[in-house]
Structure 1
Amino acid sequence: MIVHFYLVRHGQTELNRRRRLQGITDSPLTKKGIAMAKKLGDDLHNVEFTAIYTSDLKRTQKTAQYILAQNNKKKPPIKTAPGLRELNFGNYEEMKNRKLVPTVLRKIGLRKIIAAFRQQQHVAAVTNLFKIMDTATQIENAQQLNQRMTRTLTEIAYEYKDRQGEINILIVAHAIVLSVFIEGLKGDVPMLL
């Protein structure tokens, strides 16, 4: 058995459009976000998906529905996996990006920000800055986020361990959780089973 994960970020949302930080806050897809999902659905129209998993946030579920609507193959039900949920940005949820930058500068300083962006795994380093800035909220660090994502994908793959041949699984999740996971691969594709 070979499992192929198709990792997809949800389409643009109202909070994305308004340039606000969006983690666990749910926001509806914009017309552009819907068009993006339909376009990806067109690109994947001949892929037969064995399973579809999304986070428990509506924006990922809607994105998956629009992708599947374009698919010419058998359409499996969409399942939710809370382990695919985006990072909780704590007190910074829904903050306008233009307010976030000065707040980050004031709280942790320019040197730490530059150092984070210079690291090879810069998404993980930037993610860790939120944990440093907000000590009142239980914000995951990049390692915890990566472990959660790896555990979730392993559990999903394990559900299909008795199947023969190639398994195609569509995963619709979020920017940070996907980016931290992909960065953590370092070019290696882990054996999930």
Structure 2
Amino acid sequence: MGLISQQILGQNKLTSKKDNTVILYITRHGKTILNTMDRVQGWADTPLTPEGVQVAEFLGMGIKEVNFKSAYSSDLGRARQTARIVLDTKGQSDLKIVEVPQIRETNFGSYEGDLNSKMWGDAALYLHYKSSKELFTDMNKNPDVLKNAMATFKTLETLGIGENYDDVKARGQKAIRQIAENEAASGGGNVLIVGHGMSISVFLSDLDSNGKNISGTHMGNAAVCKVIYKNGKFTIESFGDMSYVEKGKQISEKKK
């Protein structure tokens, strides 16, 4: 995948602004068909379910007061669809979404579309756990377990195209930094980025300049990670925040 084009970054030039702080709202897509079926969904793609559309609408309502200068998504349909729903719902239908392949989910190779229980079960046995449940318990305590699991997925998948932790982190962090740098150069502002659960946690794992580490992989659909970029440094303010969705849900219920 090539580098992000300089021509499509910094969509709205605000060079007169003195404060070039960039506030990134990095969001997971809404629930999809494969999510609902509990199947592996990395580079494989399915559209949002009605529930997935609704949670994206809730996010749009809950984040309405944040005026986005620019919007980005991975080039996978579920992320692009979520970004469009969020923007349309909050009243920014005219804002173009820039697709960035580098912020895709992990490529799981031959496990794509298979049951999650199969992929995680294989990894658990390979890593000498009694079950995937035992692996998940250990993963919540030790971030290195995710690295080991992703290395195992790449080892065991048979197409030879799978990615490990370092593969995903390298491409994603490079893309996020390039987005942040270009948005800062054009004056800063609020930026929407819609991506994917596991890869977002990998991208943000050690991005914080103050040494704050992100561990675990769980992010609810349409959860938000708020990341501040200023003077070349990132600060992670929140991870997997569902408060915007909850706010939108409350607004929706009041309209009924």
Which TM bucket (shorter chain)? Answer: 0.7 to 0.9
Cα distance change, pair 2–125 in 1 and its aligned pair in 2 (3 A):
farther
1:171 to 193, 200, 224: 193
Q: Is the 8 A contact 1:20 1:94 kept in 2?
A: yes
**Cα offset, 1:83, TM superposition:** 0.6
**Which position in structure 2 is the counterpart of 1:46?**
65
**Cα offset, 1:112, TM superposition:** 10
- Aligned residue for 1:169, secondary structure, equals strand
Give, in whole Å, the separation in 1 of the partners of 2:32 and 2:22. 30
Give, in whole Å, the separation in 2 of the partners of 1:181 and 1:112. 27
Give the alignment of 1:109-148 within 5 angstroms. 109-110=128-129, 114=135, 117=139, 118-134=141-157, 136-148=159-171
Give, in whole Å, the separation in 1 of the partners of 2:159 and 2:49. 32
Q: Indicate yes or no: 2:109 matched with 1:90.
A: yes
**Cα offset, 1:35, TM superposition:** 0.7
**Cα offset, 1:74, TM superposition:** 7.3
Count of matched residue pairs: 192
Q: Is the 8 A contact 1:45 1:73 kept in 2?
A: no
1:56 to 61, 75, 86: 75
Give, in whole Å, the separation in 1 of the partners of 2:121 and 2:144. 23
Q: Indicate yes or no: 2:119 matched with 1:100.
A: yes
Q: Indicate yes or no: 2:29 matched with 1:10.
A: yes
Q: Indicate yes or no: 2:53 matched with 1:31.
A: no
Using structure 2 for the length normalisation, give the TM-score.
Answer: 0.67
Residues 132-187 of structure 1 deviation map (CA, whole Å, 9 limit, x = unaligned):
323651322212211211110122123224333x4111000011110112222341
Q: Is the 8 A contact 2:126 2:152 kept in 1?
A: no
Q: Which AA in structure 2 matches 1:145?
A: V
Give, in whole Å, the separation in 2 of the partners of 1:22 and 1:112. 21
1:181 to 181, 203, 211: 203
Residues 40-80 of structure 1 deviation map (CA, whole Å, 9 limit, x = unaligned):
11111111111110011110010001101122457420110
Give, in whole Å, the separation in 1 of the partners of 2:160 and 2:138. 21
Q: Which runs of 5+ in 1 are unaligned?
A: none
1:67 to 77, 86, 96: 86
Q: Indicate yes or no: 2:172 matched with 1:149.
A: yes
- Aligned residue for 1:37, secondary structure, equals helix
Q: Indicate yes or no: 2:100 matched with 1:81.
A: yes
Between 81-90 and 106-115, the greater mean CA deviation after superposition: 106-115
**Cα offset, 1:123, TM superposition:** 3.5
Q: Which AA in structure 1 matches 2:117?
A: R
Question: Which is richer in helix?
Answer: 1
